Chains A and B, each alone.
Chain A
Amino acid sequence: SAVISQKPSRDICQRGTSLTIQCQVDSQVTMMFWYRQQPGQSLTLIATANQGSEATYESGFVIDKFPISRPNLTFSTLTVSNMSPEDSSIYLCSVEATKTTDTQYFGPGTRLTVL
């Protein structure tokens, strides 16, 4: 199984600032995903990040607010821009378990609090 790490694990930020979250995988993967999980809620897909192409954003999420980079097959970043308290959430990256299944492994998450 893939081992996924995220940095930072948690942060407290002031409104109006930006935070970049890093996701590192110990093996090469084609597809990486970024989710948001608000307190006590389910997971909502923000975007799919494929290496070598622009990220694909889900309805309600835009590139200006959540720019994503995918420079290689083991790394991705998600930036939460111009933050407001409504952005306080856990942000999770995930990868496909294998090329033949569509199950996912999740990173430990980044707990973001915006004051």
Chain B
Amino acid sequence: GQQVMQIPQYQHVQEGEDFTTYCNSSTTLSNIQWYKQRPGGHPVFLIQLVKSGEVKKQKRLTFQFGEAKKNSSLHITATQTTDVGTYFCAGFANFGNEKLTFGTGTRLTIIP
């Protein structure tokens, strides 16, 4: 079945440093979505990428979808304490499977 892996599993950064999480799918995706889950909270939708090679920005967050539509990345510039949480990518396989498969997640902690 479809597998979506993320690296790293954990990341500890000093406040102000940059952070990147990488998402890799075993199958081609029709789109990639990113969610953020704060400690003790529930996943909150951040963004969706659909096109091959697409890049989108939300303030300090930059999202990329790979050319082959099998990988994606989330980059945060100058992290802040509000960025703490676990970041999940999620995607639908390109062969019509309607199940949204979540990645393994990257837990970000910020050292003030």
Residues in A lying within 8 Å of B, measured CB to CB: 33, 41-45, 48, 58-59, 92, 97, 101-109
Interface size class of B (residues with CB under 8 A): 10 to 19
Residues in B lying within 8 Å of A, measured CB to CB: 1, 31, 33, 41-45, 48, 88, 92, 98-105
Q: Report A-chain residues with C-beta under 8 Å of the C-beta of B101.
A: 45
Q: Report A-chain residues with C-beta under 8 Å of the C-beta of B41.
A: 108
Q: In whole angstroms, how far apart are the Cα atoms of A105 and B100 in the complex?
A: 13
Q: In whole angstroms, how far apart are the Cα atoms of A103 and B99 in the complex?
A: 11
Once A and B bind, how many residue pairs between them come within 8 Å at the CB atom? Answer: 40
The answer to whether A105 and B1 have CB atoms under 8 Å apart is: no
The answer to whether B45 and A42 have CB atoms under 8 Å apart is: no
Task: State the Cβ distance, B64 to closest chain A Cβ, in Å.
Answer: 18
The answer to whether A106 and B100 have CB atoms under 8 Å apart is: no
Q: In whole angstroms, how far apart are the Cα atoms of A102 and B92 in the complex?
A: 9
The answer to whether A42 and B104 have CB atoms under 8 Å apart is: yes
The answer to whether B45 and A43 have CB atoms under 8 Å apart is: no
